[in-house]
Chain A
Amino acid sequence: MQTSTAKRFTIFNHKGGVGKTTLTMNIAAVLTELGKRVLLVDSDPQCNLTSYLLEEPVVDDILDSSDSGAGRTIWSAVKPIVEGEGPPRLVEPFATSVEGLYLVPGDIQLSEFEGYLSDSWIESLQRRIRGFKGTTAISDVVTALVTALDIDYVFYDSGPNIGPLNRAVLLDCDYFIVPVACDLFSLRALKTLGRTLVNWIATWETVADLAPAGTSLLPGHPCFLGYIPERFKIYAGALTVQHARFLGQIDREIQSQIVNVLRTQGPGLVSRRKRYALGALKDFGTLVAASQREGRPLYNVSSGTAGQRRLAYEALFGIAKAIDQYVIDAGRSP
Chain B
Amino acid sequence: MTRKKKPSDAEIVEGLLRVYDRYGDSIALFATHIYTALASSKSLSEQVHSLRWRVKERDRLALKLGRKIEEARRAGEPFSISEENLLTEVTDLAGVRILHLYTRQFARIHTVVLKILEDQQYPLVEGPFARTWDDESREFFQTCGIETQVSPNMYTSVHYVVGSASRVPMTCEIQVRTLMEEVWGEVDHAFNYPEPAKDLVTREQLKALAKVTAGASRLVDTIYLTHGLSEGIGN
List the interface of chain A (C-beta within 8 A of B). 125-127, 202-203, 205-213, 215, 217
Contacts and interface: CB of A to CB of B under 8 A. Distances in A.
B121 A210 contact: no
Interface string B149-188: 0000000000000001111101000000000000000000
B36 A126 contact: yes
24 contacts: A126-B33, A126-B36, A127-B33, A127-B166, A202-B25, A203-B25, A205-B25, A205-B26, A206-B25, A207-B29, A209-B23, A209-B29, A209-B166, A209-B168, A209-B170, A210-B29, A210-B166, A210-B168, A211-B166, A212-B121, A212-B167, A213-B165, A213-B166, A217-B167
Chain B residues touching A, range: 10 to 19
A198 to B, nearest CB: 13
B167 A208 contact: yes
A210 B164 contact: yes
B141 interface: no
B30 interface: yes
A209 B26 contact: yes
Contacts, number: 41
B167 A211 contact: yes
A210 B26 contact: yes
Interface in B32-91: 33, 36
Given A209-B23, A212-B121, A125 B29 contact: yes
A215 B168 CA distance: 12
A203 B29 CA distance: 10
Interface string B181-224: 00000000000000000000000000000000000000000000
- The 6 A-B residue pairs with the shortest CB-CB distance in the complex, in nearest-first order: A209-B26, A209-B168, A206-B25, A210-B166, A206-B26, A211-B167
Contact of B165 (A202, A205, A212): A212
A206 B165 contact: no
Contacts of A217: 167
A205 B24 CA distance: 11
Contact of B33 (A203, A210, A213): A210
Nearest to B167: A211
B98 to A, nearest CB: 20
Contacts of B25: 202-203, 205-206
A61 to B, nearest CB: 43
Nearest to B121: A212
A188 B214 CA distance: 64
A210 B30 contact: yes
B53 to A, nearest CB: 14
A208 B22 CA distance: 13
A144 to B, nearest CB: 22
Contact of A212 (B23, B30, B166): B166
A97 B33 CA distance: 51
A50 to B, nearest CB: 36
Nearest to A207: B29
B167 A213 contact: yes
A12 B138 CA distance: 64
A213 B29 CA distance: 16
Contacts of B170: 209-210
A209 B33 contact: no
A126 B23 CA distance: 17
A263 to B, nearest CB: 16
Contacts of B30: 210
Contacts of B121: 212
Contacts of A202: 25
